[in-house]
Structure 1
Amino acid sequence: MKYIKYLCVWAAALIIISCDDFLGDNENPNTPTEASPEVVLPNALTSTASLTRYFSSTAGWVVGIFVNAGGYGGWGDVVYYNYTTSSHAGPWESAFDDLNNYQYIIDQTEGDSTQAYANGIAKVMRVYDYQMLVDFYGDVPYSDALSGVDNLMPTYDAQEDVYQDLVLTLNEAIDQFQNSEFSNSPEGIDIVFNGNMESWAQFANTLKLRLLIRMSETSLASFAQEQFSGMETVGFITDDVVLNPGYGEVSGQQNPYWETYVQNASGTAAGSGRSSIASEYTYAFYDGTKINDPYRGAVVYREFGETPIGQLGDLNNNPTAPSSPNPSWLSNYETHIGVLKGPDAGVALMLASESYFLQAEAYMKGALSGDDEDAYENGIMASFRYLYEDASGNIGSNVDLDDEDVTVEFDVEEDVAAYLQENNTNPLVNYSLANSNEEKLEAIITQKYIALNFLMAQEAWSEFRRTGYPSVANGSTNPQSTFASILSTSPRADRLPIRFLYPASEFQLNSDNVPPGVDQFTTAIFFQGE
């Protein structure tokens, strides 16, 4: 959709309900003037799932998840990082489309006890979208935005101010989930937790933890410290947060990751699944170069041990993905476990593994009370569990991993124990080997990077920019030492970009308010480390 975020918020709802979607909306698409939250909410949540895929796919090229396959051209700013205002505009515009829908729900339900659940959910998801926007672009239209025709050219808020307000918004939502009497049940239209408000409170609290961790060593440290208080009483997610509106192998209804990286409903191979291959840098966390992890490696990567891998920017030597009918060389999609579980699989909005790793860092730094090593190992366990599950959430069994009729039954606890034992001298795995908080942080973030691989590259990129982990060798062109493109034009020591640029549509329609002088190599997001 062309740039609509400053049109009236109800227009976004009309756009949604006039789409040919699969949620069974029975509104007349030719004459609507408004839509109920019951109609808008599941559509908005479904859009957020696609948005999560969009942000992850975009960040994946920057943080070492994907590299260019041989035999393809047109890589341009992907490998040179010579971004323009036309580069990576899609996440911005799609996010504001989605935000309009959540704002519509908030406006329609504020103060209505019968719709308190929808109001709280919309607030949480508005935070979810805005956090990704800030992490990509920095300052954003916020306090004046999403107000329709009342303000078509909103000012930009400082990213630090946005982060603070996002935390306060989550506090409001948590209070609603815990203390409101819901006159109307959200069961049936809540395609994430099916009306479980305790789960929504814990999801909101875990999002809050993500924000506070990012703020904790910035100018917002005092605010963050205050906000850590009382978080343990709400609790954090212990299961993966998965959204499924009814995905299936039907045109327009497939899981968005499957549609992007494997094939469409008619079986035509997706170009993204063949033009992109795994990076040597990330693969080294599985194949024994940095960490020995054949367990997750075999379910994440197709033909593990023989997977085509390469280096970003190598236009001459990277392997060429085989031609159709092999849709994807990024993932072991044929097993229907791992990261591509099928066209009918749900989309993870947040992984339980990330929740545990966030807790581990908070415990390690004393921001919360708890056992950091226990949380760290629970994070590894949760990562194995998610990857071993199929689309129904069951642990895979009798899975053919190598196309040679050799089937495997998975045992999460047994394989995690073997993983820890086989890497017991490796400080990136064995947490007890860390001699300092910095070494503990490196282990936590490295394991988080592995858990987020392919699924949520946007979070991996933000954590890399915040902490510098997983570590890269400055100035190196060794593909196992850095994920920077060998064609990088970045003047930074690590040869990487640190943000994306505001899209051309902003300069066309809101030029007086766009922050000037933004550069992808020098204009840092506020939590950016040195």
Structure 2
Amino acid sequence: MKQRKYIYVMAGLLAALSLGSCKKFLDVNEDPNNAKAIDAKLLFSFATTSYVNNRAGGDLYIPMALGGQSVAGGGNSTLGISWGTRSEDAYVFSAFSYGNIWTQFYTSVGANLRDIIDKANTYTPKNNNGVAQAKVLLAQTVYDLTTIYGDIPYKEAFNFNLYPSPHFDPQKDVLDSVVALVDQALVLFDEDNETKFTGSYDMFYGGDISKWIKAAKSIKLRALLTMVDKEPARAAAIGTLITDGGLISAAADNMKVSFATTAGKRNPKYAINLQYNGGREFFYGSPYVVDFMNANADPRLPRFFDRPTGQTAYVGIEPGANANDAVHAKLAKTIHVADQPEFVFTYQEALFYQAEVYARGLGVSVNMARADELYKAAITQSCIFWGVAAADAANFAAARPSLTSMTAADAIAAIHYQHWVDKMDRGIDAFTEWRRSGPEGSETPALRPPSVVGGTNLFRRFQYPGSSEILANPNAPEISLFNVKMWFDL
């Protein structure tokens, strides 16, 4: 696929044109037609649009899915309808991806959310719910930024005039700030107060504060679980969240933004296939997903993948290798459709996390029977989410070996593998789930460097972009290579 560089360039240009220009990567735009002159609800919808478009777009989804090996690129396939050789699943990453995500998350998303929060006392009537909504989305954005890059500016970010050379905060401190933002939001939320971002300005929940509260608690749980292996003392806070409840508890609570079938409002995953591959799917099944599902006769297989005509088996292709289009399965056409939502947090994800907490005894007593109940509920919900009939989903989950019959280590690994498979098409979320699933060499699944790469190094992070703001910043750390682990990654 020889147009890959062109795709990255155009993605950056289109983002700049459609999402607005910013003077510096950590600055709030001074243009009177932009951030400081725009109503808070417009800033919130603008930040939301930028956030989900960049999460689903080629600069983040593709490197994370291919580098994290939940999806395969197919190299130079026999029909020439693959992603191409020497791509992200061969650990060749574009500088445009490094830079575009950094810039867009800091400017179009973070700076606008920070602006809403900083002006909290100027709103008439007071909009505590709106500020809380902005805090939750900022917490999620900062969580993504730090799990992508590691140490990042946070305390001195978003104000270039005051901090032209912001310090980079250690990842531990950044994740602490994520938890703090959520806690602040939970104090501010008031379901009885009708002042909030609502309707089309809140593309996640349409102003349903009860669902925002569930999402906030769920995001906090995810952040704490990302920290707990490095800091076991976090288990107490995890236990409190589990005991108190109030997490996302139904598919209707899923934190998502829907796209549309009309031009300009389509999911970027679909748009890339349409514009650069004639509407055909670029990507293939990874053997780490396909083989695992085959071994379990998983009913999600035809929902995840399309087999070539005449092929009776689902066959994955090693990341970085050249696919045979008469043999290897591609991602199903029903996945990357124009109106596919971008999911930030799902019900089954909350169930998988809770199963893990009980299996590991994180702030609660180890209860493998309860873990098994939650684990099978998570698998059931995952199957339904992917389009399997409810009865078939329940039967498949019930047939999984009980966690109570396994060693603790095997039970935890089983939870992690099913959790990772469920997130197959969620790029950064699958990648972070894999990295936190165990110490180096004990992650689930047991990924190997692609054979075209060799060696022992696995993809662990984005490098810092080589932008002028970072290169000129004396407080910026040295650029870390893709295989250097970050703080939470043991």
For the aligned pair, the TM-score class normalised by the smaller chain equals: 0.7 to 0.9
Which runs of structure 2 are paired with 1:112-151 in the superposition (5 Å)? 112=123, 114-151=126-163
Match of 1:161 in 2: 173
Q: Structure 2 CA distance, aligned partners of 1:258 and 1:179?
A: 36
Asked if 1 retains the 8 angstrom alpha-carbon contact of 2:235 and 2:362, the reply is: no
Distance 1:116 1:279, change over 3 A: same
Which digits, 9 at most, give the CA deviation of each residue in 1:220-263, with x for residues without a partner?
A: 33255346435543511023424346x322221112332234x2
Match of 1:434 in 2: 406
Match of 1:485 in 2: 450
1:512 maps to 2:474: yes
Normalized per residue, the structure richer in helix is: 2
Which runs of structure 2 are paired with 1:48-67 in the superposition (5 Å)? 48-54=51-57, 55-67=60-72
Asked if 2 retains the 8 angstrom alpha-carbon contact of 1:156 and 1:513, the reply is: yes
- What is the aligned-residue RMSD (CA, Å)? 3.1
Distance 1:203 1:431, change over 3 A: same
Deviation at 1:141, TM superposition (A): 0.9
Give structure 1 stretches of 5+ with no counterpart: 17-32, 323-327, 389-409, 425-429, 473-481
Deviation at 1:56, TM superposition (A): 3.1
SS of aligned partner of 1:156: coil
Distance 1:231 1:308, change over 3 A: closer
Q: Which amino acid aligns with 1:499?
A: R
Deviates more, 1:82-91 or 1:151-160: 82-91
Which digits, 9 at most, give the CA deviation of each residue in 1:83-109, with x for residues without a partner?
A: 585663332222113112211221233
Deviation at 1:111, TM superposition (A): 7.0
Distance 1:12 1:527, change over 3 A: farther
Q: 2:465 aligns with which of 494, 499, 503?
A: 503
Distance 1:465 1:12, change over 3 A: farther
Match of 1:524 in 2: 485
1:92 maps to 2:87: no
Q: Which amino acid aligns with 1:439?
A: D
Distance 1:441 1:510, change over 3 A: farther
Match of 2:10 in 1: none
1:301 maps to 2:305: yes
Match of 2:278 in 1: 269
Deviation at 1:373, TM superposition (A): 1.6
1:236 maps to 2:241: no
Q: Which amino acid aligns with 1:81?
A: Y
Asked if 1 retains the 8 angstrom alpha-carbon contact of 2:380 and 2:396, the reply is: no
Asked if 2 retains the 8 angstrom alpha-carbon contact of 1:281 and 1:483, the reply is: no
Match of 1:394 in 2: none
Deviation at 1:77, TM superposition (A): 5.5
Q: Structure 1 CA distance, aligned partners of 2:24 and 2:361?
A: 41
Deviation at 1:79, TM superposition (A): 4.3
Match of 2:272 in 1: 260
1:9 maps to 2:17: no
Which digits, 9 at most, give the CA deviation of each residue in 1:430-479, with x for residues without a partner?
A: 4233122x21210110010111111x13122112222244232xxxxxxx
- TM-score (ref. length: structure 2): 0.82
Distance 1:230 1:447, change over 3 A: closer
Distance 1:12 1:5, change over 3 A: farther
Match of 2:356 in 1: 361
1:214 maps to 2:226: yes
Distance 1:383 1:418, change over 3 A: closer
Which runs of structure 2 are paired with 1:391-430 in the superposition (5 Å)? 411-418=389-396, 420-421=398-399, 423-424=400-401, 430=402
Distance 1:505 1:42, change over 3 A: same
Match of 1:459 in 2: 429
Give structure 2 stretches of 5+ with no counterpart: 1-15
Asked if 1 retains the 8 angstrom alpha-carbon contact of 2:71 and 2:285, the reply is: yes
Deviates more, 1:179-188 or 1:231-240: 179-188
Which digits, 9 at most, give the CA deviation of each residue in 1:5-53, with x for residues without a partner?
A: 546414489568xxxxxxxxxxxxxxxx610112121222122211221
Identity %: 18
Q: 1:352 aligns with which of 347, 357, 363?
A: 347
Distance 1:134 1:12, change over 3 A: farther
Match of 1:21 in 2: none
Distance 1:517 1:193, change over 3 A: closer
Asked if 1 retains the 8 angstrom alpha-carbon contact of 2:154 and 2:174, the reply is: yes
1:202 maps to 2:249: no
Deviation at 1:354, TM superposition (A): 1.0
Distance 1:183 1:507, change over 3 A: closer
Distance 1:365 1:81, change over 3 A: same
Deviation at 1:166, TM superposition (A): 0.8
Match of 1:377 in 2: 376
Q: 1:311 aligns with which of 298, 314, 318?
A: 318
Deviation at 1:110, TM superposition (A): 4.7
SS of aligned partner of 2:293: coil
Q: Which amino acid aligns with 2:395?
A: A
SS of aligned partner of 2:377: helix
Asked if 2 retains the 8 angstrom alpha-carbon contact of 1:117 and 1:186, the reply is: no
SS of aligned partner of 2:72: strand
Match of 2:48 in 1: 45
Asked if 2 retains the 8 angstrom alpha-carbon contact of 1:216 and 1:225, the reply is: no
Asked if 1 retains the 8 angstrom alpha-carbon contact of 2:113 and 2:135, the reply is: yes
Deviation at 1:281, TM superposition (A): 2.4
Asked if 1 retains the 8 angstrom alpha-carbon contact of 2:129 and 2:190, the reply is: no
SS of aligned partner of 1:89: helix
Distance 1:377 1:95, change over 3 A: same
Which digits, 9 at most, give the CA deviation of each residue in 1:53-98, with x for residues without a partner?
A: 1333321012222223224686435244365856633322221131
Deviation at 1:329, TM superposition (A): 6.7
Asked if 2 retains the 8 angstrom alpha-carbon contact of 1:82 and 1:489, the reply is: no
Tell me how many residue pairs correspond in the alignment.
Answer: 449
Q: Structure 2 CA distance, aligned partners of 1:234 and 1:116?
A: 23
Q: Which amino acid aligns with 1:89?
A: G
Distance 1:12 1:367, change over 3 A: farther
Match of 1:107 in 2: 118
Which runs of structure 2 are paired with 1:180-191 in the superposition (5 Å)? 181-184=193-196, 186-191=198-203
